[in-house]
Structures are given as structure tokens and as C-alpha cells.
Amino acid sequence: MATLCRPAVDVPEHVITMEETLELARSVHADHDQLELALRLIENTGVQKRHIIQPIEVTLRHPGFEARNATYQEAAKERVPPVILRALADADLTAADIDVIIYVSCTGFMMPSLTAWLINNLDFRSNTRQIPIAQLGCAAGGAAVNRAHDFCTAYPEANALIVSCEFCSLCYQPTDLGVGNLLSNGLFGDGVAAAVVRGQGGTGISLERNGSYLVPDTESWIMYDVRSTGFHFQLDRRVPGTMEPLAPALKEMAVQHGWDASELDFYIIHAGGPRILDDLSKFLGVPPEAFRFSRATLTEYGNIASAVVLDALRRMFDEGGAQDTARGLLAGFGPGITAEMSLGRWTTTGRPGARGGTR
């Protein structure tokens, strides 16, 4: 049974607080006719601070898409490897034991993918499979877990490495002045995360079932408008209400597995914003405390896109994990509107030595 092991997470050294975000909005957008509404929405996110890869005065400048993408590539090559090495160590594996790398990111572009550079520079085998995912946004964290589960189901002795690299600050567009854009400027943060899914052994979530669900006719609700200046984030005002149609999909997947989604032991949920968690608590019928790991990520790091679910799981590990066989749900939400969902049990079956996988 494939086991999702302890994630490693890193956030950049530059910090911007909620107070600084609000003051910036007041100074930069003093004449905006909906400034007060935007300020209230930013305050309501509950994000106390965010981490960004460049000082805020650099972030606010736009040197052009080419320069920004070069910054993305440079920062990814600098910041991703240490996180991968920690994740491998936590899973008691080495790079040579990994059979597939699933790399998710929606805030920069590389071809070949960073996976090729990682294989060449971190001693992964030359026959390591590569699965880069660039267009699932925040849902990609859940999708990466699901694709790793699928791979380890097909190859039971294989090991998968998940890597999430999100530098949302590189998508700041000073000319985008819609209320949704101003809200996004105070919500998203930067972060890198990695985790191993072991085909055999390991401590963490033993993955049992996964699924996807797309809310019909919502593909324009979260999207990029790609222009010469880069990625322009588009956010529909109806997005915060999407838990009402998505909660039934979570319930149905649990029913198919013989479980009740309202009676699980732990929940690792993508925290796109506080209403996502509040509504999911309401529609699943679980106490707000059930989402404490996700809420902590939102409060301390902001929305770090696909890395949220891995950081929330890391916080669960930090709390001591769960009792053996405890049942749980992991879910990421993003463009589409898409949900990537998985069910599993906590396992503490030990951490045996490295396995060769599918070499």
C-alpha cells in the first residue's frame, strides 16, 4: 500500500505582514473607488504574514515576463534541492530509490521541466520518470498525491517524489486593479514543498482511494490571462462559494469507500481562503477544529497554491500525527473548478530501509 510520508517545506526569508499589506494597498491604490472593500476582504482572509522570494520593493516592480521567468528558474534551482533532500531523508530513501518525480507549479515555466535538471544534478537515475503538471493551479498538490498513488499502485515496489514550487509573488501585476486582484495581492505567498510516496513501508497516510471532480461550466472562474507581461490572475467572485457543489463529491467518494466523510479522524484541505474552510465545515458537518492544520498554513504563510496540502500535512506530523489506522481525507481545489481528493489511513508500520523500485 502506497504511503504518503512526511513532507518537507520551506518558505523564503522575506516577509510581509497583514499590516504592511494593508498599508501598501492604501498607498499604492489610494484613488481606487473600491479600496475600502478590498481592504476588508484582505483583512477577512486571516493571513497574518506571507513569505516572498524578493524584497517587497523589488516584488512591486515589473521588469517584464522574461526577467520574471528567469527569476523563477534561478530561485527554483536554488530552493528546491534542499527541500527534496529533507523529504528523502524523512522517508529513509535516497534519490536513487525514486522511480518518478511529479513536479507541480503554476507560477513559472520551464521546458524541459525542472525535473530534468533535478535528475542531472541530484543523483536521480537516468530512467526516472518525469510528470510535470503546470495547469492545475492550487489543485495540483492533491493531483500530485493522486498520481503518485496511481503510479505506486501500478508498480507496488516503486517510490514517487512529489515536488511543489510556487512563487506566487512573481505573478503580481501592478496594472490589474479589480477587487479580486487586490484581494489576491494580499492572499498568496511563496513556498516550496516535497514529499515521498513509498510503495512499501513508511510512516504517514496509507493511500486507499482517490478521485477527481470538476464543477460544470466553471472553467473561467479561476484562470490565467496570458499576456506579454506574463500571467494575469483572474478570480471570479463566485469562487468562495464552490464548497457547496464540491462537498457532495467528497461525500460520494467516501461513501464509495464505505466511509462517512463527516466522521473521519483527520482532514488535510487546501486553504484557498477562510470561507473555503468555513463552508466545508458546514457542508461536511465537522467542527472547525478539524481544519486547524490548513488554517494554520493560511494564517502563517497565506495561500501557497499547490504546496498548501503538503504544508498542512507537515503540521499534522509536527503535532504527532494520528493513531494507527486513523482515517482521513486530503483534498486540493483549483481551476476548473476542480477537486483532487484522496482517502487513507494513518500508518506507523515502521520505516524499513530503501527499496530499489522499478529500476
- Residues 332, 341: Cα–Cα separation, whole Å: 7
- Residues 149, 255: Cα–Cα separation, whole Å: 20
What is the separation of C-alpha 299 from the centre of its chain, rounded to a whole number of angstroms?
A: 15
Amino acid at 109: F
Q: Which residue has the cell 495540483?
A: 140
Cell numbers for 192: 516550496
Contact in structure between 330 and 149 (CB atoms under 8 Å): no
Instruction: Pick the catalytic residue from 138, 165, 168, 171.
Output: 138
Helix, coil or strand: residue 337: strand
Residue 138 is among the residues annotated as catalytic for this protein: yes
* Dihedral (CA of 302, 307, 312, 314) sign: negative
First-to-last alpha carbon distance for the chain, in angstroms, is: 19
308-319: b (≥16 Cβ within 10 Å) or e: bbbbbbbbbbee
- Count CA atoms closer than 13 A to 184's CA, side-chain side: 24
Strands of the chain, DSSP E: 3-4, 8-10, 14-17, 49-52, 100-104, 129-133, 159-167, 190-198, 203-218, 222-227, 230-235, 266-269, 327-334, 336-348
Cβ contacts of 311 within 8 Å, gap of 6 or more = 7, 9, 191, 193, 297, 301, 304
- Residues 356, 69: Cα–Cα separation, whole Å: 36
DSSP letter assigned to residue 268: E
- Minimal CA–CA distance to 75: which of 137, 13, 151? 13
Helix, coil or strand: residue 349: coil
Q: Which residues are catalytic?
A: 138
